[in-house]
Amino acid sequence: MTAAIELVQLTKTYGPRRGLTRLTLQVHSGEVFGYLGPNGAGKTTTIRMLLDLIRPTSGTARVLGLDPRAEAVELHRRIGYLAGDFVVDGRQRAGECLAFLAALRGGVPRRRIIELAGRLDLDLNARIKSLSKGNRQKVGLVQAFMHHPELLILDEPTSGLDPLVQQTFLDLVREAREAGQTVLMSSHIMSEVEAVADRVAIIREGELVALDTVADLRARSFLQVRINFAAPVRAEEFTPLPGVSDVTVDGTTLACRVDGSPDPLVKAAARHTITGLRADTQDLEDLFHGYYNGEAASTAA
Ligand SMILES: Nc1ncnc2c1ncn2[C@@H]1O[C@H](COP(=O)(O)OP(=O)(O)O)[C@@H](O)[C@H]1O
Ligand SMILES: [Mg+2]
C-alpha cells in the first residue's frame, strides 16, 4: 500500500511552546483518514506543514511522494485544501471567486461548480461578505473538491455547517473515496468523522495518543455500571474482580467500569439485595473523551 502522506518524527515548536511532538504516521492512498483532537491539540499545525505554510522544526513530511517545500507547485495542483480559517476577498461574488480559483488550478468545468453549489445550497451570485459563516465554508468546500484532486486535506471542514449540509459533505467525501481520492480531515468531534473515516488518529497536546481503524476503536467499548443496594457495601469487595475497574462506592451505590464479561461483578453483587441496576455501553464519543482527558488507552485495550 502506498502512502499519500508520510510523517516521520514531525515536530513543530513555537518558541518554548509545543505545537506538535515527533508525530509519525502514514495516510494510505485511497483511505479517508480522520484527524481528531480537542482544540489546541496540534491539528492545524500538522496540516499547515503538509502544505509548506509553516516549516517543521524537525522531522519530515512527504505528501504524494513529494517534498512539500521543494515541490510545492506540483503538490498544490494535486491537492484540494480547505484551511481551518478559510478566507477570500469578500467583495467578490461566490461564483466569481470560484471561477478565479478554478482558473488557477488549470480550469474546472463550470457545470462542476454549479453542481457542487447546488448540492450544498450555495448561492453563487451572493457577495462573499454578505454570506454567513456556514455559507462561506461552502465556498471553501467547493474550491477544495471542484478539481477532483488526488488528495483532499480538510481542516475542520464541517465547522459552521448545518446538519443537512453536513450530510451532503459526508456524501462528497464518500464519493471522493469511491473515485480513488484520499481524504485527510480534521475535527474535534468524533461523530463527524466516525461516519466516513476508515482510520482515525487522535492527538492531544501535540502527541499521538491513538491510531486505529474505526471498527477496532468501536470494539474497545466497555460497560459503565451503577448498582443500588438495600444496605451499604464496601468498595474492597468489588475492586479485585476481573474486568472491573474505576470502582467508587457512595453508601449504598456502587459505580464501576467493566471490560469483558460482566459475570464476576453480577455474581459478587448478587450476595447483596439489589434495588437498582443500570449498565451503559460507552460509545466512541465517550472513548474519545477519555483520550481527551488523558485517560490512558491501556485501560481500553
Ligand atoms: N503561530 C503560533 N504561535 C504560537 N503558538 C501557536 C501558533 N499556532 C499554534 N500555536 C499553538 O500550538 C498548539 C496547537 O495549535 P493548533 O495546531 O492550532 O491546534 P488545533 O488545530 O488542533 O486546534 C496550541 O497550543 C496553539 O496555541
Ligand atoms: Mg485547528
**pLDDT tens-digit map of 229-272:** 999 999 999 999 999 999 999 999 999 999 888 999 999 999 99
What phi and psi values does residue 25 have, to the nearest 5 degrees?
A: -165, 165
Q: Which one of 10, 13, 17, 154 would you pick to mutate in the ligand 1 pocket, going by the greatest count of ligand atoms within 8 A of its CB?
A: 17
Q: Is 14 in the pocket of ligand 1 (CB under 6 A)?
A: yes
- Report the alpha-carbon angle 249-252-255, nearest 5: 40
Terminal Cα distance for the chain, rounded: 26
3-214 and 222-281: identical CATH topology: no
What are the residues whose beta carbons fall under 8 Å from the beta carbon of 237, sequence distance 6 or more? Answer: 268
168 CA to centre of ligand 1 in angstroms = 29
**Which amino acid appears at position 86 of this protein?**
F
173 CA to centre of ligand 2 in angstroms = 20
Q: Is 44 in the pocket of ligand 1 (CB under 6 A)?
A: yes
User: Alpha-carbon distance 145 to 23, whole Å?
Assistant: 27
Fold exhibited by the domain 3-214: Rossmann fold (3.40.50)
Q: Which among 45, 48, 44, 50 has a CA at the least distance from the CA of 26?
A: 50
pLDDT at 194 over 90: no
130 CA to centre of ligand 2 in angstroms = 25
Angle between helices 133-145 and 94-104 (to 10 degrees): 30
Q: Is 17 in the pocket of ligand 1 (CB under 6 A)?
A: yes
Domain residue spans of the chain = 3-214, 222-281
pTM of the model: 0.82
55: part of which helix (H) or strand (E)? Answer: none
Q: Give tens-digit pLDDT for 196-237.
A: 999 999 999 999 999 999 888 877 778 899 999 999 999 999
Q: Which three cell numbers stand for residue 106?
A: 488549470
Q: Is 42 in the pocket of ligand 1 (CB under 6 A)?
A: yes
User: Residue 214: its pLDDT value, please?
Assistant: 87
Nearest ligand, CA of residue 38?
1
157 CA to centre of ligand 2 in angstroms = 11
40 CA to centre of ligand 1 in angstroms = 5
Fold exhibited by the domain 222-281: Alpha-Beta Plaits (3.30.70)
User: Residue 183: its pLDDT value, please?
Assistant: 98
**Which amino acid appears at position 137 of this protein?**
Q
